[in-house]
Amino acid sequence: MFHWYRDISATERKTFWACFSGWALDALDVQMFSLAIPALIAAFGLDKTEAGLIGGVTLVASALGGWIMGAVSDRLGRVRALQLTIIWFSLFTLVSAFAQSFTQLLVCKALQGFGFGGEWAVGAVLMAEVIRPQHRGKAMGTVQSAWAVGWGASVLLYSALFLLLRPELAWRVMFGIGILPAFLIVYVRRNLREPRPGAHAAAVPGSGMATLMGIFRPDMLRMTVIGALIGVGAHGGYYALMTWLPTYLKTERHLSVLGTSGYLAVIIFAFWCGCIASAALLDRIGRRLNLVLFAACCVVTVLAYVFIPFSDAAMLVLGFPLGFFAAGIPASLGALFNELYPGGMRGTGVGFCYNFGRIVSAGFPVLVGHMSAKMSLGAAIGIDAALAYALVVAAVLALPETRGKHLDETAAQTGGSERSERDAIPARH
């Protein structure tokens, strides 16, 4: 399954591990908020809509961060932009541990989100430009599995801290640990270099605004709109489900801290497996078919999970396909979005498509919280998530297949084909 790793160069491996580590640490920071929602509700006297608002504002900020920092990486370079985003979200995760009011926490989480969104966009483009085309899908899908690693670490921290400490202190300690990603800067500075130094700034002449708006040129607009819709569906389904899942398990399924952690452990392991499976399929069956397959299965499993009155044991078993299929969509997006854009606007395009979904999906956690006042929390989660995943199926069918496309920066590091993007012929299925 991982035979491709033996074929890649030392430069490709260092880039892979830098991005893998960064994404895992991102997940550690972000998932801690979902786990801490019940404690935050108690600490600040929040209702579910206000708690959902924190998650929503964080997603909006992360979307802006992804778009803006993607454009910054087109002008200043991928590695420099990556360092900036890592230190940014680490710092504000730490600061959020000292919040004394709902407003302070809201501002801190928004600033954290800006850096988090930027880190994914910059790291995804760096990976796509360094990893050779025949292994791009496998490598980028495997990097996405790092989310499960960070998510699992956050659950372990949650279980330990909330058993050992009072809830009002435990969540602050969790957020304080969020400074850990800052230490990744040392590795990045020592081991990574630009795929092609100076190419990004020269590729799109003009102002920063021209760089940001280049993806809306008439020849690129269709790809940008469809990519953005895929981002909306992918993020909307994920955040509607995963933001509220710990609260659902605790308040409606009445599970203890350890019981909740057990269910989440199954879903997290399944998420890792789903990323690896999606990574293997991306370079075999193509980007489009892979996304359709996983998104359609997501619709079915999420509706079954929240609407069918399974026993606790049956829900534990169903948690595996729930996490497995939810993973396949984000594991596909890095490769797909990078292959839609030329080098001079790739960071901008990838950052926008992936993170525009976060802007719109920011309303999904808020909507779930609002709908739960009139129906069960499980029903609200199921309706929102299923509609979002159905959008992915509809949108991806309007895109061309891009498997095997050569990116202009790739050959500089890997020694692969020098064929340019304009000469590449995307595979059709």
Q: Which two tokens stand for residue 277?
A: 């499976």
- pLDDT (average), residues 67-93: 86
The predicted-structure confidence for 117-128, as pLDDT tens digits, reads as follows: 888 888 888 888
In a domain, 115, yes or no: yes
Q: In the predicted model, what is the mean pLDDT of residues 224-243?
A: 87
Which CATH number fits the domain that encloses residue 40?
Answer: 1.20.1250.20
Residue 229 has pLDDT above 90, yes or no: yes
Q: Which range (96-105, 171-180, 372-381, 420-429) has the least confidence?
A: 420-429
The answer to whether residue 395 is domain-embedded is: yes
pLDDT of 328 over the 60 cut? yes
Q: What is the pLDDT of residue 155?
A: 83
413 assigned to some structural domain: no
Flag whether pLDDT at 421 surpasses 60.
no
The pLDDT assigned to 196 comes to 60
Position 408 pLDDT exceeds 70: no
Q: Is 414 inside a domain boundary?
A: no
Check residue 296 and give its pLDDT.
Answer: 93
- What is the arithmetic mean of pLDDT over 342-366? 81
Compute the average pLDDT of residues 102-123. Answer: 88
Least confident of 90-99, 102-111, 237-246, 368-377: 237-246
Instruction: Say what percent of the chain tops pLDDT 90.
Output: 11
- If you average pLDDT over residues 222-250, what whole number do you get? 85
Residue 409's pLDDT is what? 42
On whether residue 416 sits in a domain, the answer given is no
**pLDDT: which is higher, 346 or 313:** 346
412 falls within a domain = no
State the total domains in the chain: 1
Average pLDDT value for residue range 401-405:
77
pLDDT at 417: 36
- pLDDT tens per residue, range 252-305: 777 665 556 677 788 888 989 999 999 989 888 988 899 999 999 999 988 888
Rounded Cα distance between 172 and 151, Å, is: 18
* Highest mean pLDDT: which range of 155-164, 189-198, 303-312: 155-164
Q: Residue 201: inside a domain, yes or no? A: no
> What global pTM score does this model have?
0.74
Residue 222 falls inside a structural domain: yes
Token output for 337: 């979005």
Report the mean per-residue pLDDT for the chain: 81
The range of the structural domain enclosing residue 29 comes to 9-185+214-401
